[in-house]
């Protein structure tokens, strides 16, 4: 509004210094209705689940034993064979370069993807979703795109902190490109998986290794520190992650194992993105990682990279993956698949 704009301009010109402690705003309590500008399925789901509770979400295991107990208490909600049957894909556990992976073969290979591969890294804050849960979106993308996929069951803490996950990703990728063109591989995933893929690309650049042909950066955990503005603005609004100050922050410290969280191999947003392959980003307006997503997108654009951004109304972190019954989910995976068809050579 012009009046505010005039005030802003005047203040911007006159403000020469400020006290940092005065620059934190205290947001008042206010109401957030169930969103109307989304599909009925997504709205009913949001309206039908309890409001996220910041306080009860603000705890995290403190010791390795507590982490191990938590991790082992979480059962993969969908058994591997059921994933395969539902999508018509075949899933085979293998090892590549001594790293555990799952090879996903779709019922039919699309003609344009006969020579292509989707190399997938699962999410779960670098601590969860090991084992069968590592297949995750790889099965879906493989089935929808008609493309072979390999999901990496990378090592994780507490037993194997950073850089084990990056090393595993790199080892699998370098093995694969011994027998196929790097540009025929798309890499990526969601959340920590997207962060890991982006970190691995920084590492490949350090190694002067050839880069893959395309990247899927789904709501990437691109910054392990609590820096992104939506880490604060969407606290208690994102119904999946809820807050940084619980598992997330704890997992970041557990994974980093004392290393600087702003190392680009831990927080890829701090890296340099020149020569990155075409990358597609997705997030939601309620995503705690919306800021991580748009900050990384902008850094890529500034580096001259082909990078597309998609943001869904009122969607929490990786809602497209959790809400497969919502039209928004199909819409997103269609975007992703079209992107891969366009950009994989």
Residue with Cβ nearer a second copy (204 or 217): 217
Place of tokens 């869904």: 312
Q: What is the dihedral of CA 184, 189, 194, 199, to 10 degrees?
A: -40
- Reading the block at residue 110, the tokens are 């699309």
CB of 21 to a second copy, least distance (A): 10
CB of 259 to a second copy, least distance (A): 20
Residue with Cβ nearer a second copy (198 or 314): 314
CB of 291 to a second copy, least distance (A): 5
Around Cβ 88, how many Cβ atoms within 10 Å?
A: 13
CB of 165 to a second copy, least distance (A): 17
Residue with Cβ nearer a second copy (70 or 97): 70
Residue with Cβ nearer a second copy (8 or 180): 8
CB of 103 to a second copy, least distance (A): 23
Distance, in Å, from the CA atom of 229 to the CA atom of 234, rounded to the nearest integer, reads: 8
Residue with Cβ nearer a second copy (142 or 285): 285
Residue with Cβ nearer a second copy (182 or 250): 250
- Reading the block at residue 271, the tokens are 């890296």
CB of 285 to a second copy, least distance (A): 6
- Reading the block at residue 18, the tokens are 């400020």
Residue with Cβ nearer a second copy (200 or 323): 323
CB of 32 to a second copy, least distance (A): 5
CB of 6 to a second copy, least distance (A): 5
DSSP codes, 139-205: HHHHHHHT-EEEEE----TTTS-TTHHHHHHHHHHHHHTTSS-GGGEEEEEETHHHHHHHHHHHHHH
Give the DSSP H/E element, type plus range, for residue 342. helix 327-343
Give the DSSP H/E element, type plus range, for residue 103. strand 99-105
- Of the chain, the end-to-end C-alpha distance in Å amounts to 47
The angle formed by the CA atoms of residues 300, 221 and 335, to the nearest 5 degrees, is 65
Distance, in Å, from the CA atom of 104 to the CA atom of 151, rounded to the nearest integer, reads: 8
Residue with Cβ nearer a second copy (75 or 108): 75
The 307-312 sheet, strands edge to edge: 90-96, 99-105, 148-152, 117-121, 185-190, 214-218, 279-284, 307-312
């Amino acid at each position: 509004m012009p009046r505010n704009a005039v005030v802003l301009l005047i203040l911007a010109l006159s403000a020469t210094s400020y006290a940092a402690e005065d620059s934190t705003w205290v947001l008042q309590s206010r109401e957030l209705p169930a969103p109307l500008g989304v599909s009925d399925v997504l709205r009913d789901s949001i309206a039908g689940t309890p409001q996220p509770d910041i306080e009860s979400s603000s705890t995290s295991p403190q010791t390795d034993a507590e982490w191990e107990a938590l991790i082992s208490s979480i059962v993969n909600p969908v058994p591997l064979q059921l994933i395969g049957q539902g999508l018509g894909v075949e899933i085979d556990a293998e090892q590549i370069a001594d790293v555990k992976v799952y090879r996903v073969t779709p019922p039919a290979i699309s003609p344009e993807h006969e020579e292509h591969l989707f190399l997938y890294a699962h999410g779960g804050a670098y601590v969860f979703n090991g084992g069968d849960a590592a297949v995750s979106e790889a099965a879906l993308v493989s089935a929808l795109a008609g493309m072979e996929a390999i999901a990496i069951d990378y090592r994780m803490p507490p037993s194997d902190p950073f850089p084990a996950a990056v090393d595993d990703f790199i080892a699998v990728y370098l093995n694969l490109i011994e027998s196929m063109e790097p540009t025929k591989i798309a890499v990526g995933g969601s959340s920590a998986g997207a962060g890991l893929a982006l970190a691995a690309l920084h590492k490949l650049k350090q190694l002067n290794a050839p880069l893959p042909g395309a990247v899927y950066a789904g709501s990437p955990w691109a910054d392990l520190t609590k820096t992104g503005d939506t880490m604060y603005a969407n606290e208690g609004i994102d119904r999946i992650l809820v807050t940084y100050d619980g598992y997330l922050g704890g997992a970041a410290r557990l994974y980093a194992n004392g290393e600087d969280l702003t190392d680009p191999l831990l927080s890829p947003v701090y890296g340099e993105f020149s020569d990155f392959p075409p990358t597609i980003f997705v997030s939601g307006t309620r995503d705690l990682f919306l800021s991580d997503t748009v900050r990384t997108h902008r850094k890529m654009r500034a580096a001259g990279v082909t990078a597309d951004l998609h943001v869904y109304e009122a969607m929490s972190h990786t809602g497209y993956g959790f809400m497969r019954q919502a039209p928004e989910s199909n819409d997103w995976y269609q975007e992703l698949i079209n992107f891969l068809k366009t950009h994989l050579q």
